[in-house]
Structure 1
């Protein structure tokens, strides 16, 4: 008999319980920034395509602004506006914010080849994402 009041019990989990469910998201029109409907219902994508939609939405959502999202969701790129940083520092910080934003998703394991460029008041970022479904490219 154990002499401790609270015995250490490790729950048994099977491989099926450890696997994440198939990631699903509403199909998105990236040019017009609207969901895509078919027959009055939103179209659903899964796997890599769903992760790309999630990433695109997260990168377009300012962090800490909307109460509907957790404080982990969104990005902080807007904080670079008006800062007296050099272009190189702004690009580096934008890439860091980009990476932090995306790694919140458990379906994304790594972000690589991040390039950030400011032109005509716009920030353009490209990167490769390693997901549980394979690699995808993101251009925002």
Structure 2
């Protein structure tokens, strides 16, 4: 045995044990309307893992993030919940291309379940600004897209 205990140089690492992340669960929703899906007994269907990440991402993208200084708010969401894509309405593709990626990252990436956004691209189809991306999570990746009517 040497002059130092075996874990002398790893002491800091041992003190900072990783916190275990609980399995993410949420209610299944129709990804077109946002309505909760029910089973044959009229009970809400529960999804886990990547499916729950997708549900939460859909909710965040389709919920307008409120002004932090506004007096109104959502009873079930924090002031940080939601997106700012409503700010793209009335703007052109160049404006959207400048800000949409950061808006998506700010909306979704939390470092716990959603770790990043990749394969980001945009397209203007008539008055609809289409955002395509790959959602990166601790459960895997999922390609997704959504439209914003900018007129």
C-alpha distance in structure 1 between counterparts of 2:114 and 2:124, whole Å: 25
User: Which portions of structure 1, spanning 4 or more consecutive aligned residues, are displaced by more than 3 angstroms?
Assistant: 12-15
Helix, strand or coil at the partner of 1:130: strand
Q: Please, which of 56, 81, 92 is the counterpart of residue 89 of structure 2?
A: 81
Is 1:60 the counterpart of 2:62 in the alignment? yes
Q: Please, which of 127, 130, 136 is the counterpart of residue 136 of structure 2?
A: 130
Partner of 1:3 in structure 2?
Answer: none
Give the drift of 1:73: 1.1
Residues 76 and 114 of structure 1: CA distance in aligned 2, closer, same or farther (over 3 Å): same
TM-score using structure 2 length: 0.73
Count of aligned residue pairs for this structure pair: 125
TM-score using structure 1 length: 0.78
C-alpha distance in structure 1 between counterparts of 2:102 and 2:55, whole Å: 20
Structure 2 unmatched runs, 5+? 1-14, 68-72, 147-151
Quick check: 62-71 or 127-136, which moved more? Answer: 62-71
Which structure features the higher share of strand residues? 1
Partner of 2:10 in structure 1?
Answer: none
Residues 14 and 100 of structure 1: CA distance in aligned 2, closer, same or farther (over 3 Å): closer
Give the drift of 1:76: 0.6
